[in-house]
Amino acid sequence: MAKTFSKGGVHPPENKLSANSAIQIVPPTNVVSIPVSQHMGAPSSVIVKKNDQVKVGQLIAQSAGFVSANIHSSVSGVVQKINTIIDTSGYKRKAVIIKVEGDEWMENIDRSAQIIRNFTMSSEEIIKRINEFGIVGLGGATFPSHVKLSIPKGKVAKVLVINGVECEPYLTADHRLMLEKGEEILIGIEIQMKAINVSRAIIGIENNKPDAIAHLTKLASSFKGIEIVGLKVKYPQGGEKQLIKAVMNREVPSGGLPIDVGAVVHNVGTAFAVYEAVQKNKPLFERVVTVTGKSLSKPSNFMARIGVPISNLIEAAGGLPEDTGKVISGGPMMGKSLNSLEVPMAKGVSGVLIMPDNESSRRRQAACIRCAKCVSVCPMGLEPYILMTLAEREMWEREENERIMDCIECGSCSFVCPSNRALLDYIRLGKGAVGKIMRARKA
Amino acid sequence: MTELQIIIATIVSVSAIGILAASILYAAAQKFKVFEDPRIDEVEDALPSANCGGCGYPGCRNYAEMCVKADTLDDLYCPVGGNDLTATIAKILGKDAIAKAPKVAVLRCAGSPEHRASINVYDGAENCKVASALYSGSTGCEFGCLGLGDCVVACDFDAIAINKETGLPEIIDEKCTGCNACVKACPKLILELRKKAKKDRKIFVSCINKEKGGVAKKSCAVACIGCKKCQKVCPFDAIVVENFLAYIDYDKCKLCRKCVDVCPTNAIAEINFPPKKKKPVVAKEVAKPKVVAKKSVDKTNPTDESK
Amino acid sequence: MKISPSPHNYGKDSVSSLMYGVIVAMIPAMLVSFYFFGLGAIIVTLTSVVSAMAFEWLITKYLLKKEPSLIDGSAIITGLLLAFNVPSNLPIWIILIGSLVAIGMGKMSFGGLGNNPFNPALVGRVFLLISFPVQMTKWPLPGNFPMEYADAATGATPLGVMKEGINNGEPMADILQNIPSHMQMFYGQMGGSLGEVAGLALLIGCLYMLFRGIITWHIPVSVLGSIAIFTGILHLASPEKFADPLFHILTGGVLLGAFFMATDYVTSPMSQKGQIVFGVGIGVLTVVIRVFGAYPEGVSFAILIMNAFVPLINNYIKPKRFGEVKVA
């Protein structure tokens, strides 16, 4: 039997419509808006001014703290203005708006297709490079990668876990990347192994991607210490705690981090970005994004520059269908619905999902019938029905005792609820409130 | 045993158990008796028993305890009972009472659908906090009211209701006690407590949009654009414009309504005033914000029936 | 464009699809009861289902003043379960009272579906059993689609025979002579309430519900397992005084209770560990009532008693949280 995590989980329809469409490059638009907060942590501080000339790969916003990331221009041209624009958060945030002129890259970026296998950097140099080149977790959480690779004092990393699960329905960006850039990913993994000084890496891939498993297994034979593990298809296997449980059979303690069980988890996309940064001198300014949807004429995978409006990507995939009900950044389980199509591509956008009108509405909410389905699917062993009720009544202390902060917001409870209750909506609300109380207590 | 004996035995044993239990209870009650200042009960009886938390204490009983404990009643104001209640408590406790200005909540947003068009439809849980965590709102204005009614739920006095036409909450002045619950409940910080004036008249800037004038005006027709006209015209220096947003200090404002006349976007609301004698521009009246609270009789001193 | 928090897709189950799933699972047992108890069973079932729906509609509309919703099918289940729990010769007026108590007192007085602490059908059944003990314990004997209703020939249930025999000190072998064989009981050829006799049909229904994912194995297995173990120990200790486990499982409402009534969503615990505790509690109480109590049958009481413990179980038995391990 294939490995998987042990507790809870659901299996939503996979709908991997774009699995067979190769990654295409979309050219940047005339104007791009590069948001300054594309990652977890502090927004970066802009270091360019209006009318500045910038090149592709040039640093335009500097990391503002340890948990923050540099941002590089994805195009060459002139800075038009620094303004606010609605980004994936749904709010207006600061962004650098650049008028595109030509496509002039920084000179030190290696644009050849040649794969460079050997690297000489030391662990510190690698982490410094990753920090400088603005690499963040590309699975969607956008946590700055150098933070994860800097092992805190007193902890020892034993295994590098690479997330090639892509358990979200519809999304195929990681899948295509593994098929097309397999060797680069493996080199990227080797670089990260060196960075955290481990000799073992495990790539977890769900069994609905047999071609990717076969391809990487073949390639990995020439790499030392990298294993590929096929996993039973189950959502949310891509959650890092679930993935660690599936491939290592270890449980990250409540409130703890993967490093507490000696694991560091990175996405395959991140591994590719690390390869490009270290071997090709290329900062993170473009990424693979799946643009998909049932009524979209050409569900595709694109290599898209950061800052390009989403509407442009939808155009490239055949145009916005008439029956569009909802446009989501990410997958249907954890993605964020967008309130504007002019939202720019960001480092964390792994997919753009267009849902037809008839599928996008929530169903009518009914009374809880206490069927316990939410309890049985919760991968964290929580009781979503209690958490929701307590959040509605604002009983934060009990909420904390019921371990609300363990929730990974995977949405399995809302997915499975026969009464269509807004479980996760309220749990998220509760998490926000309890988190605030806990931080206030610490301070 | 004959039947009579059974009956007698039953009566005797049951009575014995009853007496025993009663005496144990009595002894326990005596032993664990806690002395409480009888004035706490007296004060509590005088309180409105709304347990709304408007005074800052978890319930009316706690408030009563604090009143008895405290040296002065200055910091202990029950917004529901108002100054009458403070006087009553002062009399019970023999302390001095300082009169405080009663307040009433106002909604500083006038963005009904006719003024700001919806650009998308919210389809999540009916809760302002959930919606505001998700995105800026269904219109172009990211400061404005979401209209999902957290304030309505928070109000213990049925003083707020969503107006179906405007999609905005309306505050009913007679019922509003100024307990601050709605102000705390609003994730957008739109509601504000303002001093009650004569005949419940109110002048306030019905907008909290801090964006530049052009941007604000684009997303909402009745937004404050920060043009400073009101600031210039105000004879009492009651208006400050900061971050492209005017704010009227209710302590300085004398309700002269000059600012209302000059405001180019009708962002300043005037409530409970009689119609003007000299009409400024008829068209402007039509676009008046609809936050007008229900007409009320003079209730500057709320009495018991307003609870 | 619509905006909502994630997740953006939903599972296929809805309240009504789950409820209709349960109803489908009850159909085999209903058909078996129609075959053995004939016209009476049909009259009782129809009366009970129709009246349960009518009462729910009336109470929602006129007492709770809400928009009545019968489409979720929960009233049909209550009606069916109540019918399954009474003899097939029960007069219509008694069924009406039972159904009013079940829906009115057992369910709607707590606020309707989702809020009732006790299984509504069982509340109705126990109310009838205590109020009308004579009518409720006259069990028609099974036939081949008999056409009698009120005047059907009656007899005792196997459990009744067993209880009386043991109380009178008859040898076990003699008692077993007077009751149907285990195989007959498995098919449903014995006296009893209309839905409880058909062991095989109930099992088919249960398997269907497990297959559809409507219920999990925890409650049925723990109820049956605890009954089997408890009676097994008693039987091994004194085969003359205590019947064998299989007899206990096949008779009375054990299968009906374990598959359909203890698994009722609203009145069973939320965590799987809690469900096992709940099931074992039902099993043990059932045997205690049957073997040591005054009633020959105890499933209904056992389930109702355990229903009362559900809030306590939910409060103290939590699912094992992920990551609840000491830091290594």
Under a CB-based contact definition with an 8 Å cutoff, are residues A384 and C280 in contact? no
Q: DSSP 3-state assignment of A249? A: coil
One-character DSSP codes across A76-121: -EEEEEEEEEE-TTSSEEEEEEEEE-S-PBPTT---S-PPP-----
DSSP lists the bridge partners of residue A354 as A327
Per cent of chain C over pLDDT 70 is 98
- pLDDT score of C306 more than 70: yes
Residue type, C226: S
Distance from C-alpha of A395 to C-alpha of C75, rounded to nearest angstrom = 34
Under a CB-based contact definition with an 8 Å cutoff, are residues C250 and C199 in contact? yes
First CA to last CA across chain A, in angstroms? 48
Which subunits count as partners of chain B given 3+ CB pairs below 8 Å?
Answer: A, C
Q: Do B123 and C1 touch (CB under 8 A)?
A: no
Distance from C-alpha of B59 to C-alpha of B52, rounded to nearest angstrom = 7
Of B123, B127, B136, the CB nearest to A91: B136
What is the Rg, in whole angstroms, of the alpha carbon atoms belonging to chain C? 20
Q: Do C2 and B135 touch (CB under 8 A)?
A: no
Residue B262 touches chain A, beta carbons under 8 Å: no
DSSP lists the bridge partners of residue B64 as none
Average pLDDT rounded to a whole number, residues C146-167? 83
Q: Which one, of A266, A353, A368, lies nearest residue A317 by Cα?
A: A353
> In chain A, which residues have their Cβ closer than 8 Å to the Cβ of B133?
428-429, 432
**Structure tokens, A298:** 């050409």
Under a CB-based contact definition with an 8 Å cutoff, are residues B289 and B206 in contact? yes
Q: Do A92 and B124 touch (CB under 8 A)?
A: no
Strand-by-strand arrangement of the A45-46 sheet: A45-46, A59-62, A71-72
Q: Tens digits of per-residue pLDDT, B184-222?
A: 999 999 999 998 888 888 899 999 999 888 888 888 999
Q: Which one, of B232, B227, B265, B239, lies nearest residue B141 by Cα?
A: B265
Q: Do A429 and B136 touch (CB under 8 A)?
A: no
Please indicate, yes or no, if residue C324 is contained in any of the structural domains. no
| Residue ranges in chain A modelled with pLDDT below 50 | none
| Higher-scoring residue by pLDDT: A34, B37 | A34
First CA to last CA across chain B, in angstroms? 65
The label of the residue with tokens 């609270």 reads B293
Q: What is the ipTM of this complex?
A: 0.88
Dihedral angle, C-alpha B192, B197, B203, B207, nearest 10 ° = 10
Under a CB-based contact definition with an 8 Å cutoff, are residues C157 and C121 in contact? no
Question: Considering only CB atoms, which residues of chain A are within 8 Å of chain B?
Answer: 86, 89-92, 336-337, 339-340, 360-362, 422, 425-426, 428-429, 432
Q: Do C321 and A382 touch (CB under 8 A)?
A: yes
**What pLDDT is recorded for position B296?**
43
- pLDDT score of B301 more than 60: no
Residues 6+ apart with CB under 8 A from C130: none
Q: DSSP 3-state assignment of B131? A: helix
Residues 6+ apart with CB under 8 A from A93: A35, A36, A37, A43, A84, A85, A86, A87
Q: Which one, of A152, A133, A136, lies nearest residue A42 by Cα?
A: A136
Choose from B118, B121, B135, B148 for mutation: most chain A CBs within 10 A: B135
**Structure tokens, A135:** 């690499």
Choose from A326, A339, A357 for mutation: most chain B CBs within 10 A: A339
Residue C43 burial class via C-beta count within 10 angstroms: exposed 0-12, middle 13-18, buried 19 and up: buried
**Structure tokens, A361:** 């509405």
Closest chain B CA to residue A432: B133
Residues 6+ apart with CB under 8 A from C200: C32, C186, C187, C188
Instruction: Determine which of A295-299, C175-179, C244-248 has the lowest per-residue pLDDT on average.
Output: C175-179
Please indicate, yes or no, if residue C3 is contained in any of the structural domains. no
Closest chain B CA to residue A428: B130
Core vs surface per residue A70-108: b (16+ CB within 10 A) or e: bbbbbbbbebbebeebbbbbbbbbbbbbbebeeeebbee
CA distance A273 to chain B (A): 29
- pLDDT score of B291 more than 70: no
Please indicate, yes or no, if residue C295 is contained in any of the structural domains. yes
Please indicate, yes or no, if residue C168 is contained in any of the structural domains. yes
Label residue C63 by pLDDT band (50, 70, 90). confident
Distance from C-alpha of A23 to C-alpha of A301, rounded to nearest angstrom = 5
Residues 6+ apart with CB under 8 A from C92: C43, C47
Answer yes or no: do C129 and C165 share one domain.
no
A 10 A CB-CB count for B53 gives: 17
Under a CB-based contact definition with an 8 Å cutoff, are residues B42 and B61 in contact? no
- pLDDT score of C208 more than 70: yes
CA distance B285 to chain A (A): 32
Is the previous residue joined to A236 through a cis bond, with omega within 30 degrees of 0? yes
| Higher-scoring residue by pLDDT: B39, C118 | C118
Which subunits count as partners of chain C given 3+ CB pairs below 8 Å?
Answer: A, B
Distance from C-alpha of C49 to C-alpha of B12, rounded to nearest angstrom = 52
Q: Do A422 and B119 touch (CB under 8 A)?
A: no
CA distance A57 to chain B (A): 30
Under a CB-based contact definition with an 8 Å cutoff, are residues A10 and C11 in contact? yes
- pLDDT score of B277 more than 80: no
**A309 in the Ramachandran plot: left (φ > 0), alpha (ψ -120 to 50) or beta?**
beta
Please indicate, yes or no, if residue C146 is contained in any of the structural domains. no
Distance from C-alpha of C108 to C-alpha of C266, rounded to nearest angstrom = 13
Q: DSSP 3-state assignment of C270? A: coil
Answer yes or no: do C71 and C220 share one domain.
no
A 10 A CB-CB count for A153 gives: 5
Q: Do B138 and C4 touch (CB under 8 A)?
A: no
Q: Do A333 and C6 touch (CB under 8 A)?
A: yes
Distance from C-alpha of C74 to C-alpha of B280, rounded to nearest angstrom = 64
Answer yes or no: do C160 and C302 share one domain.
yes
Distance from C-alpha of A34 to C-alpha of A97, rounded to nearest angstrom = 6
Choose from C3, C6, C9, C10 for mutation: most chain B CBs within 10 A: C3
CA A33-A36-A40 angle, 5° bins: 130
Q: Tens digits of per-residue pLDDT, A39-66?
A: 888 899 999 999 999 999 999 999 988 8
* SS (HEC) of C78-98: HHHHHHHCCCCCCCHHHHHHH
Q: Do B135 and A429 touch (CB under 8 A)?
A: no
Number of alpha carbons in the 13 Å side-chain half-sphere of residue C130: 8
Domains of chain A: 123-280 (3.40.50.11540), 373-442 (no CATH)
Residue A126 burial class via C-beta count within 10 angstroms: exposed 0-12, middle 13-18, buried 19 and up: buried
Q: Do C3 and B130 touch (CB under 8 A)?
A: no
Q: Which one, of A112, A43, A35, A48, lies nearest residue A77 by Cα?
A: A48
Q: Tens digits of per-residue pLDDT, C80-91?
A: 999 999 999 899
Q: Which one, of B280, B294, B290, lies nearest residue B114 by Cα?
A: B290
**What pLDDT is recorded for position C30?**
93
Average pLDDT rounded to a whole number, residues B32-37? 84
**Structure tokens, A65:** 């703290």
Answer yes or no: do C25 and C85 share one domain.
yes
- Please count the structural domains in chain C: 2
Which subunits count as partners of chain A given 3+ CB pairs below 8 Å?
Answer: B, C
One-character DSSP codes across A278-346: HHH---S-EEEEEEE-TT-SS-EEEEEETT-BHHHHHHHTT---TTEEEEEES-TTT-EE-S-TTPBP-
Residue B123 touches chain A, beta carbons under 8 Å: yes
> In chain A, which residues have their Cβ closer than 8 Å to the Cβ of C8?
326, 328, 332-333, 335, 337, 353, 355, 360
Chain A, chain C: beta-carbon pairs less than 8 Å apart: 163
Residues 6+ apart with CB under 8 A from C278: C219, C222, C262, C268, C269, C306, C309, C310, C313
CA distance A19 to chain B (A): 30
Distance from C-alpha of B248 to C-alpha of B201, rounded to nearest angstrom = 14
Q: DSSP 3-state assignment of A430? A: helix
Please indicate, yes or no, if residue C7 is contained in any of the structural domains. no
Please indicate, yes or no, if residue C8 is contained in any of the structural domains. no
CA distance C82 to chain A (A): 20
Q: Which one, of B125, C5, C322, lies nearest residue A407 by Cα?
A: C322
Average pLDDT over all residues of chain C? 90
Q: Do A406 and C6 touch (CB under 8 A)?
A: no
Answer yes or no: do C199 and C291 share one domain.
yes
CA distances (Å), origin B67, targets B61, B97, B301: 10, 11, 21
Answer yes or no: do C204 and C290 share one domain.
yes
Label residue C327 by pLDDT band (50, 70, 90). very low
Answer yes or no: do C172 and C210 share one domain.
yes
Q: Do A429 and B123 touch (CB under 8 A)?
A: no
Answer yes or no: do C258 and C300 share one domain.
yes
Label residue B285 by pLDDT band (50, 70, 90). very low
Distance from C-alpha of B161 to C-alpha of B167, rounded to nearest angstrom = 10
Q: Do C266 and A370 touch (CB under 8 A)?
A: yes
CA distances (Å), origin B307, targets A323, B153, B155, B178: 51, 17, 12, 11
Average pLDDT rounded to a whole number, residues B12-20? 96
Q: What residue ranges in A173-223 does DSSP mark as E strands?
A: 201-206
**What pLDDT is recorded for position A1?**
62
Q: Where do the domains of chain B lie? A: 44-93, 103-295
- Relative to beta strand C154-155, strand C2-3 is unpaired
Residues 6+ apart with CB under 8 A from B49: B60
Q: Do A425 and C320 touch (CB under 8 A)?
A: no
Of A89, A340, A422, the CB nearest to B124: A422
- pLDDT score of C293 more than 90: no
Instruction: Determine which of A404-418, B43-57, C203-217 has the lowest per-residue pLDDT on average.
Output: B43-57
Residue B130 touches chain A, beta carbons under 8 Å: yes
Q: Which domain holds residue C32?
A: 15-135
CA distances (Å), origin C115, targets A190, A355, C89, C119: 57, 35, 32, 11
CATH class, B103-295 region: alpha beta
Chain C 4-33, CB below 8 Å of chain B: which residues? 4-5
Average pLDDT rounded to a whole number, residues B227-233? 91
**What pLDDT is recorded for position B292?**
47
**Structure tokens, A258:** 């993967």
> In chain A, which residues have their Cβ closer than 8 Å to the Cβ of C327?
253, 256, 260
> In chain A, which residues have their Cβ closer than 8 Å to the Cβ of C318?
383
Of C8, C14, C322, the CB nearest to A380: C322
